[in-house]
Amino acid sequence: MIEMKDVYKQYSNGVMAANGFNVHIKQGEFVYVVGPSGAGKSTFIKMMYREERPTKGDIIVNSINLAKLKTSRVPYLRRNVGVVFQDFKLLPSLTIYENIAFALEVIEEHPKQIKKRVMEVLDLVGLKHKARMLPNELSGGEQQRVSIARSIVNTPKLVIADEPTGNLDPETSWDIMNILEDISNRGTTVIMATHNREIVNTIKHRVIAIENGRIVRDEQRGDYGYES
């Protein structure tokens, strides 16, 4: 489902954040991306949903070559890829319900169908009762659950999360992990960049370690592997 072939990324300031990424990720895999700060994890992830374009190389996601994809086609790609950020990125003036419904309204889904699907994903993350509230009326963990609900409302085949537990306390981080596990168990591919050693070492999955823009380790059921 995802293939990177000799992918390089040099930012306009000259920084080489990707020095030849080669990776193949199958449908349904759960992959942790680990490595020191500045290693290139976010760059790796951003190239998978065309937030960044590679300087060189090919990136195939759902049979689309993102290196060649026209900018005007990027919204179509995004419909099949859910993205979760460390800082949630919810729209502050919209209710929880509206934040999630937004993605379906854009694709002109039938209103009845929108309501059904939004309540379904809110139920999945345990927040049906907060549908009418505004983001700032929710705790950080609840806001992250909303952002996960939003990321899966389109039933994407791929969910990408960049440090989804980065701003959360340990207990809330485990709640978020349980939801991502649940999504993964339903067959969705999950790719998650994280600095959370305990989670990586406890819920075992494939681990891709990046250092200085290079993949230095790629192991099934790997460890976090860095001294804290």
Ligand X SMILES: Nc1ncnc2c1ncn2[C@@H]1O[C@H](COP(=O)(O)OP(=O)(O)OP(=O)(O)O)[C@@H](O)[C@H]1O
Among 4, 31, 34, 39, binds ligand X (CB under 6 A): 39
- State the CB neighbour count (10 A cutoff) for residue 12: 5
Judged by beta carbon, residue 30 or residue 44, the one nearer Mg ion is 44
Q: Is 46 left (phi over 0), alpha (psi -120 to 50) or beta?
A: alpha
Cα separation, 190 vs 182, in Å, equals 10
Among 25, 32, 34, 41, binds ligand X (CB under 6 A): 41
Verify binding: residue 99, ligand X, rule CB under 6 A: no
Asked if residue 164 binds ligand X (CB under 6 A), the reply is no
Provide the minimum distance between the beta carbon of 41 and ligand X in the complex, in angstroms, as a whole number.
3
Of 63, 131, 133, 128, which is closest to residue 93 (Cα–Cα)?
A: 133
Residue 4 or 122: the one with the smaller Cβ distance to ligand X is 4
Please give the Cα distance from 225 to 227 (Å, whole number): 7
DSSP 118: H
Partner interacting with residue 75 (select from ligand X, Mg ion, none; CB below 5-8 Å by kind): none
Q: Tell me the DSSP string of 157-204.
A: SEEEEESTTTTS-HHHHHHHHHHHHHHHHTT-EEEEE---HHHHHHS-
Please choose which of Mg ion, ligand X, none residue 37 contacts, taking the beta carbon within 5 to 8 angstroms, the exact cut-off set by kind: ligand X
- Answer yes or no whether residue 35 interacts with ligand X by CB under 6 A: yes
| Contact flag: residue 43 with ligand X (CB under 6 A) | yes
Binding-site partner at residue 82 among ligand X, Mg ion, none, CB < 5 to 8 Å by type: none
Distance CA 114, CA 132 (A): 15
Q: Which stretch binds ligand X (CB under 6 A): 30-38, 73-81, 90-98, 167-175?
A: 30-38
Q: How many residues bind ligand X (CB under 6 A)?
A: 12
Binding of residue 42 to Mg ion (CB under 5 A): yes
191 contact choice in ligand X, Mg ion, none (CB below 5 to 8 Å, kind-dependent): none
The Cα 185–Cα 168 span in angstroms is: 23
For binding to ligand X (CB under 6 A), which residues are involved? 11, 13, 15, 17, 35, 37-43
